[in-house]
């Protein structure tokens, strides 16, 4: 389902949005359509990481342990 929305930005955000979209030669709509899914995907990743961390009883690892765990 596609839904139209209206967004009102404060002046500072509007200025930055205009500068960004002009510099990158994209429309405001294209920028927002690109940025919102990226932000949501990041949020989903954080939620998954938090769940794993909770299952590990909030275990932390040192940098060397992290590097070893990643096989680097």
For 30-43, write each residue's pLDDT tens digit: 999 999 999 999 99
The answer to whether residue 5 sits within a structural domain is no
Phi, psi of 17, rounded to the nearest 5 degrees: -60, -45
**pLDDT confidence of residue 24:** 97
Does this model's pTM top 0.95? no
Cα–Cα dist 52/38, whole Å? 21
The answer to whether residue 45 sits within a structural domain is yes
**pLDDT confidence of residue 17:** 97
Q: Which two tokens stand for residue 33?
A: 């359509």
Q: Give the domain extent around 61.
A: 11-69
**Widest CA span of the chain, in angstroms?**
48
The answer to whether residue 3 sits within a structural domain is no
Cα–Cα dist 67/37, whole Å? 29
Q: Which residues of the chain have pLDDT under 70?
A: none
Number of domains present in the structure of the chain:
1
Handedness of CA 11, 15, 18, 21 (dihedral sign): negative
């Amino acid at each position: 389902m596609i839904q139209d929305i209206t967004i009102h930005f404060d002046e500072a955000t509007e200025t930055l949005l205009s500068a960004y979209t002009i510099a990158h030669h994209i429309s405001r709509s294209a920028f927002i359509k690109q940025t919102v899914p990226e932000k949501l995907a990041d949020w989903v990743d954080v939620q998954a990481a938090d769940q794993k961390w909770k299952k590990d009883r909030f275990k932390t690892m040192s940098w060397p342990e992290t590097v070893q765990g990643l096989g680097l």
